[in-house]
Structure 1
């Protein structure tokens, strides 16, 4: 009965979340269903297990949601994202429209700009480039996914994405964990994705398929769609309803000023992770008032927080005169962080209740018993949970909350670098999370004025197949030669 309750609660969560119901309501209800069938105390699990785990997630990661959303909104309203995307697309031109869109998305998201901000800026530019190059509009979402939601989210070392930050407290790693393997995975994702998009473009030209008609809906219309908003909030770190709040400039800054904050994010993150934090005397963290923490638990998150804070200060310093209403922009960014953070925390709370059920022991043993060692088992666990929840960050946190300590213990016993666990976990969370019900996929298709029927096959190829190939390569190479 306990297993039936766990599956029933998960089914309830998936079914109603797909229909646009708020995860803030669904997650505790689904958790209580699982507890009810297991004949566990309901109120204790809701107020202690569920809320305790959700609160712990927020305590660890809400600063990243907050700073990332504020930074993304500042970059949007100052015109910096537009300036960077325009620079890349103009330099490459319509003859390389596909590559231009991919690289523009990669630059801004690797620099810390929120995914949905990138969507709303890149889609109009991609539409114009694709129209001029007469490339089918149905390929726009896949090109944007490849640039924004694959290697810059999960593979490139140092990326400030929330997914890359989540394993750090569990494994004592930094954002630059397994850098060589991360670069290898990035090259595979980018190379495979560009090959597929180029192939589809050539096929389209042979059969005479052109850009096609139609125009995407306005940002105001999309931001007011509550069903889309609820789906999107569980998938990424920015509430799309805040896209239309604040005021955007009509005078984007020069490319050097626009790109400077992105350089600051990468440079400060690198310096903090590898040089500054390891050199600090942090023995005070062991004191009872700080909970006996260590720099290994906190260093990675601190590095990203510092990098985003410095980047926000840089935007304000170099582009504040271009932001029409700085207070409104900052407020919109802060507000944009709340719903996604709370939604993902609720998913984590649901996972904690499920993990506390007696029947979960059988599930845990089955996952840990998967052949191939801890890397394969970890990849399968993160893939499945990200797929079921439609959230890379939610699925990844649930997996590590339940099994992270076990994976670390097993890796240590066989001499496996925790950095390799980190990279496999992050890449694994960014594969099957892009199933049709994923909020980011639904939002991007709406932004581009496309449908699942028209564009989802290409999203699967560049966002799932390429990432799975890269994940397999990392596991194979890492198992043979270790982390590098």
Structure 2
């Protein structure tokens, strides 16, 4: 086993975490951590960083090429919804329904909205671009701690609706289906039982954290309060229906024309054009709005791509084969080592989808030979892939912090529990069902 190489992988991870803790930009931290990792592995450093194939730069460029349009259009739509007053109008209606006396009801409402949008096939980055501005006025009127927003949003977008619930249209469910020849509803009993457990865990955790926050007299702190003037706050808001119409059109277009190529881009463009018309009275300078949305999307895309590129290099060095061997020797039912192994890869790459791809290529043949059912493997690697994906250099977490203004210290703990620990609960259930012969 290449001990020196494994030490290099660990030092690379520690380097990127240290940079993030010290508040350095991940765009700078990731390539430095990659070089640290490569120094301990017997591979050409310059070629691995700057080469034209399987290098840090090609992995980064590949992510940007595949995802920039999503970030750009999602960011612009979120700007229209926010600056046009639609988010405040929707928030006011939600508060009129759930009331202002019980903040927990508002958190549950955000959780349900997040879950519905994710299960409806909306990209999770699009959801947080649209949902966070809508959540701000709700938290402000309820005067509850803004750092709690991560629980309903992460709990609804990146747990049961993404990896467990049968039929989920997420890549986490599609990739194993394509590779194993299974359907999106693979292992429905496992999916339903784990989904119920996940929902219960998130709702209980959310209640506990809210009560603890209220007992400490924590109140709302708007990180962007200086942006709006008193005059701007009193502007005329669009009606609830008008405010919701771009989101309805976005969802409807994606769901009705789901088989059309590039439908998510088409739907986002339609929603943006509709917003430009509907909110034209509320928005004084649409050119400035488009510029701001575009500028924010560039940083968000490269931030996420940098974490993916680092993880791709880390799992591509020869020493990582030794980690595969250690993973396969984990005691207990085979399904346990499969989920833990996929989760470790997800933690290193900070990408659950990337972890699934690596796991399918390297683990699945071994577990199929052991006699595990393809449907069980499908559901197990989907659930396991997210079990360690919330790390300090996670692109999703970094983008969320950028949009909300939260610090890593404020968001990491609640985000980790809402996503990773929820998946640990699901993994435990999968193991129990396997031992009982139900999986």
The TM-score range, normalised by the shorter chain, is: 0.7 to 0.9
2: CA distance between counterparts of 1:474 and 1:320? 51
> CA contact under 8 A between 2:15 and 2:33: conserved in structure 1?
yes
Query: Cα–Cα, structure 1 residues 372 and 406, in superposed 2: closer, same or farther, change >3 Å?
Result: farther
Partner of 2:425: 469
Task: Render the CA deviation track for 1:160-183: whole Å, top value 9, x for unaligned.
Answer: xxx94477567549xx94496767
Residue aligning to 2:35: 32
- The equivalent position to 1:219 in structure 2, one of 221, 224, 242, is 224
Tell me if structure 2 keeps the 8 A contact 1:101–1:122.
no
Q: How does 1:81-160 map to 2 (within 5 A)?
A: 81-104=87-110, 106-107=112-113, 111=117, 113-115=126-128, 118-129=131-142, 131=143, 137=144, 141-142=147-148, 144-156=149-161
Structure-1 residue corresponding to 2:250: 265
1:447 Cα offset (Å): 5.4
Q: Which of 264, 272, 280 is 1:304 aligned to? A: 264
Are 2:406 and 1:403 equivalent residues in the alignment? Answer: no
Q: In 2, distance between residues paired with 1:261 and 1:198?
A: 32
Q: CA offsets, 1:109-129, max 9 Å, x none? A: 854555266445424422432
For the structure 1 residues 15 and 91, does the alpha-carbon distance in structure 2 shift closer, same or farther, using more than 3 Å as the test?
Answer: same
Following superposition, the deviation at residue 88 of structure 1 comes to: 0.8
| Aligned partners of 2:155 and 2:202 also within 8 Å | no
Residues 1:79 and 2:74 are matched in the alignment: no
2:39 aligned with 1:21? no
Contact 1:101 / 1:126 at 8 angstroms: preserved in 2? no
- Select 2:238's aligned residue among 239, 247, 253: 253
Partners of 2:434 and 2:355 in 1: CA distance: 21
Per the TM alignment, residue 202 of structure 1 is displaced from its structure 2 partner at its CA by 7.0
Change in CA separation of 1:152 and 1:215 when aligned onto 2, cut-off 3 Å: closer
Unaligned runs of 5+ in 1: 132-136, 224-242, 278-298
Scaled by the length of structure 2, the TM-score of the pair is 0.74
Contact 1:167–1:425 (CA under 8 A) maintained in structure 2:
no
Paired residue for 1:416, among 365, 374, 386?
374
Q: Secondary structure at the match of 1:320?
A: coil
CA distance in 2, matches of 1:371, 1:362: 17
Q: Give the Cα–Cα distance (whole angstroms) in 2 for the partners of residues 426 and 71 of structure 1.
A: 30
Deviates more, 1:307-316 or 1:379-388: 379-388
Measure how far apart 1:440 and its partner are: 5.5
Q: Secondary structure at the match of 1:5?
A: helix
Question: What is the Cα deviation at residue 68 of structure 1?
Answer: 1.9
- Tell me, in whole angstroms, the C-alpha distance in 1 between the residues paired with 2:347 and 2:147: 19
- Residue equivalent to 2:312: 352
Does the CA contact (< 8 Å) of 1:383 and 1:431 recur in 2? yes
The alignment of Structure 1 onto Structure 2 pairs a total of residues equal to: 411
| 1:333-384 CA-partner distances (Å, limit 9, x unpaired) | 2222211211222222222222232211111333355567886455434544
Listed one character per residue, the Cα deviations across residues 440-477 of structure 1 (whole Å, up to 9, x for unaligned) are 5994998589975xx98766654544443245556777
* C-alpha distance in 1 between matches for 2:324 and 2:405: 39
Given that residues 382 and 428 in structure 1 are in contact (C-alpha distance below 8 angstroms), is that contact kept between their aligned partners in structure 2? yes
Choose which of 60, 64, 69 in structure 2 pairs with 1:58.
64
Name the CA distance, whole Å, in 1 between partners of 2:290 and 2:332. 47
Contact 2:81 2:87 in 1 (8 A): yes
Report SS of the residue matched to 1:363. Answer: helix
Contact 2:34–2:313 (CA under 8 A) maintained in structure 1? yes
1:434 deviation in Å? Answer: 4.7
RMSD: 4.4
**C-alpha distance 80-424 of structure 1, shift in aligned 2 (>3 A):** farther
Structure 2: how far apart are the matches of 1:41 and 1:382?
27
Match of 1:330 among 282, 290, 305: 290
Contact 1:75 1:81 in 2 (8 A): yes
Task: Indicate conservation of the 8 Å contact 1:109/1:115, yes or no.
Answer: no
Contact 2:311 / 2:348 at 8 angstroms: preserved in 1?
A: no
Q: Secondary structure at the match of 2:238?
A: coil
- Distance in 2 (CA, whole Å) between partners of 1:340 and 1:267 is 26
Pair 1:183–1:157, CA change in 2 (3 A) = farther
TM-aligned CA distance change 1:343 to 1:424, over 3 Å: farther
Match of 1:402, SS state, is: helix
In the TM superposition, what is the alpha-carbon distance from 1:197 to its structure 2 partner? 4.1
Distance change (3 Å), C-alpha of 1:33 and 1:368: same
Deviation, structure 1 residue 305: 2.9
Asked whether the equivalents of residues 156 and 183 of structure 1 are also in contact (C-alpha less than 8 Å), the reply is no
Query: Compared with structure 1, are the counterparts of its residues 266 and 100 closer, same or farther at alpha carbon in structure 2 (3 Å cutoff)?
Result: same
After the TM superposition, which residues 367-446 of structure 1 pair with which residues of structure 2 at under 5 Å, given as runs? 367-368=327-328, 370=330, 376-377=336-337, 379-381=339-341, 383-384=343-344, 387=347, 394-400=350-356, 402-406=358-362, 416-417=374-375, 421=378, 428=384, 430=386, 432-434=388-390, 439=397, 443=401
2:287 aligned with 1:318, yes or no? Answer: no
Partners of 2:384 and 2:276 lie apart in 1 by: 36
Structure 2 distance, partners of 1:212, 1:325, is 39
